Structure 1
Amino acid sequence: MEFTTIKLEKLERRATLTLNRPASMNAMDTVMMEELAQCFEALQHETDIQILVIRGEGKVFSAGGDIKAMVDPNQPMDINAAMVCLTRIVKAYYQLPMIVIAAVHGASAGLGFSLALGADIVVACENSKLAMNFIGIGLIPDGGGHFFMKERVGNVKAKQIIWEGKVLSAREAQEVGLIDYVAPDGTVFAMADQLVGKILASPIAAMITTKKILHTQNLPILESILAMEAAGQSAMRKTTDHLEGIQAFVGKRTPVFSGK
């Protein structure tokens, strides 16, 4: 399977998925989202791959959704189609029959952070910046962001982090339980490789079976949240606050929200 915005490399029992739009900080446009959906759906049928590492090419893991694509007057993003594609991505991702490690460097924001949080293990470079920052442009988390945040930190803390939209350091994210390991600067991929080696030397079939049991039980909740995220995001895209947030982002100024 050939891709243009991601790379999938397989070696014996491991695979590496690289987000590959470095010139755009690996922001997810419609092409990348479709390719991620196809990739995860194909990986669901893998019988030899037991561990998957997700990483970003270039300076960052992922800046999130492609905001420039959202406001492109020549080819505006179809939010409803995007939500359908995101639902495909997350459902396939959550049901992968392998252990998933996210190796985060530089930055992981918005939709990119949702993707990282959906991994079984999250390793982040010490100098990375992590943010569930949809609120800054008047939107709600998507890509299963509500579900993955709730799984990691519980409802109350998830709400507070989402509402604040604060950019967290790796240490801060680890302290609240959003990520699992902090790697010294420049060593995140080496640490991920060490974890891969450790896991592959473990009774990994038992680990994957435990994952399947727990994820199968939670799948109906994820599906419900994805449906509500799709409806909520479509509604938020029509608000005055979202328009102001986008214009402020493009104009590099502080937004002035009205609650409408």
Structure 2
Amino acid sequence: MYKTVELVKEGRLARLTLNRPEAMNAMDDVMMEELADVLELLKTDTTVQVVVINGAGRAFSAGGDIKKMVDPNSPLDIGKVMVHVSRLAKALYALPQITIAVVHGAAAGLGFSLVLACDYIVAEETSKLAMNFIGIGLVPDGGGHFFLKERVGVPQAKKLIWTGKVMNGEEALAKGLIDEVVADGQAAAFAQGYAQKLLAAPIASMIATKHILHEQKTAELENVLAMESEAQVKMRKTEDHLEGIQAFVAKRKPEFKGK
């Protein structure tokens, strides 16, 4: 049914897998749209109470697909892409299920925004977590500003966004960005155990609490998403962004000029 994601239901548990392993689950326009579609579908599914989100292959997600950004044969329509990015962030935050992010390898850029939007985050020790849009002259999207601020507050959010710092599991835990660190290769098993604990708990009341807390913030998230979309369209036209993606592809250090 989907080309880039896979949804499997096991009773009251659903497993959502980002499935472009050959590209480290980098999100192209197809994946962004499919993720938004799947999450909106889950929003109406009353049979599922826990959603586990993971990545196929050797990473959770390397973020937005930079190769697509520089491919002259398939230019990304940034305005259209941002609509899907906003849809998926809003749907994920509003899900009437408890969401668990399972991180191994990279969770960068939009991939990290997706992780931070989840209720519970488990990461392996050598994971690489980064809000690294700054490296290509962009701003966080997918609600990255909102989800970072919710986890660590405004001053720390600014610092993480402006530096694009890459953190391993222990560093991310120390900053309060994630909930659990496990040994490499153990995240999936840990998440499965945690999901079973949730399903054995009075989970309907937990979901009600999530709804009460999240509902207060929905308008703020929508405002952030609109501002991120506007800023991203603007940043895509800057000289610094062009230099950033060209340097990334050429594997050289970018020379930014603030333009």
After TM superposition, give the deviation of residue 91 of structure 1 in Å. Answer: 1.1
Q: Is the aligned partner of 1:92 residue 2:91?
A: yes
After TM superposition, give the deviation of residue 238 of structure 1 in Å. Answer: 0.7
Cα distance in 1 for residues equivalent to 2:84 and 2:70 = 19
Cα distance in 2 for residues equivalent to 1:50 and 1:43 = 10
Q: Is the aligned partner of 1:159 residue 2:145?
A: no
Cα distance in 1 for residues equivalent to 2:164 and 2:94 = 28
Instruction: List 4+ stretches of structure 1 deviating above 6 A.
Output: none
CA deviation digits over 1:37-87, x for unaligned, max 9?
110111011111000000000000000000001111011001000111111
Cα distance in 2 for residues equivalent to 1:56 and 1:171 = 20
Which residue is 1:7 aligned to? 6
Structure 1 counterpart of 2:200, one-letter code: A
Secondary structure at the residue paired with 1:88? helix
| TM-score normalised per structure 2 | 0.99
Identity of aligned residues (%): 61
Which residue is 2:130 aligned to? 131
Q: Is the aligned partner of 1:248 residue 2:247?
A: yes
CA deviation digits over 1:89-117, x for unaligned, max 9?
11111110000000000110000000001
After TM superposition, give the deviation of residue 187 of structure 1 in Å. Answer: 0.3
Secondary structure at the residue paired with 1:168? coil
Cα distance in 1 for residues equivalent to 2:3 and 2:257 = 40
Task: State how many pairs are aligned.
Answer: 259
Q: What are the ranges of 5 or more consecutive residues in structure 1 without an aligned counterpart? A: none
* RMSD over aligned Cα atoms: 0.6
Which residue is 2:52 aligned to? 53
Mapping 1:1-260, distance limit 5 Å: 2-260=1-259
After TM superposition, give the deviation of residue 185 of structure 1 in Å. Answer: 1.1
Structure 2 counterpart of 1:238, one-letter code: K
CA deviation digits over 1:5-34, x for unaligned, max 9?
000000110000000000000000011011
Cα distance in 2 for residues equivalent to 1:170 and 1:195 = 18
After TM superposition, give the deviation of residue 176 of structure 1 in Å. Answer: 0.5
After TM superposition, give the deviation of residue 170 of structure 1 in Å. Answer: 0.7
Secondary structure at the residue paired with 2:15? strand
